[in-house]
Amino acid sequence: MKVLLTGHLGYIGTVLAPRLLERGHDVSGLDSDLYGECTFTGAVTMLPSMGCDVRHFVKQPDAVNKLAGFDAVLHLAGLSNDPLGDYQPGLTRQINGWASGELARLAKSAGVPRFVFASSCSNYGASGVAFVTEEGVLNPVTPYGVSKVEAEQSIRALADDSFSPTLLRASTAYGLSPRLRFDLVVNNLTAWACTTGDVRLKSDGMAWRPLVHVEDIALAYVAAVEAPRQDVHLGVFNVGQTSENYQIREVADLVRSIVPNSRITFSNEVGADIRNYRVDCNHISRVLHGFKPQWTVRRGIEQLYEAFCTARLSVEDFEGPRFKRIAHVKSRIDAGELDERLFRIDGPAGRNGSNAFATA
């Protein structure tokens, strides 16, 4: 299968790309590579790449021609982190919402039959302690969640006999990746414990969150794109395991039990987290037979702890511009490499580029 993987240089994409290649797929990428200097471990798989921001791509007059011939688009590209989403909420909606809908529209025009979208369980937002299925009420409480809901609505509206969208709502990710994200709760708590001895909670820890390893997320994409069309057409899937829902305090306890001589502490930001949801993942296990998750949070913490010790990780690494997403982006803006819209300066759609972005 000829596949276009957007966001192939990000946290999930750098894990998913080699899995697709191992399965024999012909894979190309599309990514602005905001985090090209943020490789934590291992090698990033290099793909034939269109090498630009998705907002720039969808404005190109020959975008449909470039998409022609692909059997599927797996669309992961976007701003995937709440601090980045809060930084410029309108920008998050442009990239994650508007541009995702435009890419799906162009893919349909190009005759691409399958479109798999990286949505999120963040769409459920503040749902309380009852388990939420895919039919549950969407109640996003962050710009990131709002942008994903808007994208879902645009993409689903395009479905017909020739164009088949599938929406994967991933649980909160964790685990090792070449482009590791340290803002994710399991990764972050483990990093603090390894470097300082403090399992540092930034809330009261009472909120619920579904958790899934990044490698299991990659398995879900492979399973979705390889599944019979009738099994996934207009399908919505919560990605994870129902048994892997945790209160944040439970995650902190697991980290404390695994990282020697660590203790739970609270930052000055402590308060209730309005993001609170438990997710039922039984639908994906019934329908996507190729999705067989391998990880638990305990195993993931053990994996991270070993990697952090080997790398001699420091607080300055994961809390500074080397790996922290928002700090890294701001440092690139300050250095004149990116403009305020996160376009490369002197590059495609940058300050001196020829294709400035405008919303539809």
Sign of CA dihedral 309, 328, 213, 41: negative
CA distances from 44 to 57, 67, 222, 271 (A): 22, 24, 18, 38
Cβ(61)–Cβ(103) under 8 Å? Answer: no
What pLDDT, on the 0 to 100 scale, is given for residue 271?
Answer: 67
> For residue 96, what are the contacts with CB-CB under 8 A and spacing of at least 6?
78, 79, 144, 147, 148, 150, 151
Kindly list the structural domains of the chain, giving each domain's residue range(s) and its CATH number in brackets, ordered by start: 2-334 (3.40.50.720)
> For residue 105, what are the contacts with CB-CB under 8 A and spacing of at least 6?
154, 158
Cβ(142)–Cβ(183) under 8 Å? Answer: no
Question: What is the distance, to the nearest Å, from the Cα of residue 20 to the centroid of all Cα atoms in its chain?
Answer: 17
What pLDDT, on the 0 to 100 scale, is given for residue 359?
Answer: 29
Sign of CA dihedral 7, 9, 15, 17: positive
Please give the chain's pLDDT, 360 residues, in tens.
Answer: 999 999 999 999 999 999 999 999 999 999 999 999 999 999 999 999 987 899 999 999 999 999 999 999 999 999 986 677 778 889 999 999 999 999 999 999 999 999 999 999 999 998 888 999 999 999 999 999 999 999 999 999 999 999 999 999 999 999 999 999 999 999 999 999 999 999 999 888 999 999 999 999 999 999 999 999 999 999 999 999 999 999 999 999 999 999 999 999 998 766 678 889 999 999 999 999 999 999 999 999 999 999 999 999 999 999 999 999 889 999 999 999 999 999 988 754 443 333 322 222
What pLDDT, on the 0 to 100 scale, is given for residue 270?
Answer: 64
CA distances from 277 to 132, 133, 245 (A): 7, 11, 9
Write out the two tokens for 57: 């791509």
What pLDDT, on the 0 to 100 scale, is given for residue 223?
Answer: 98
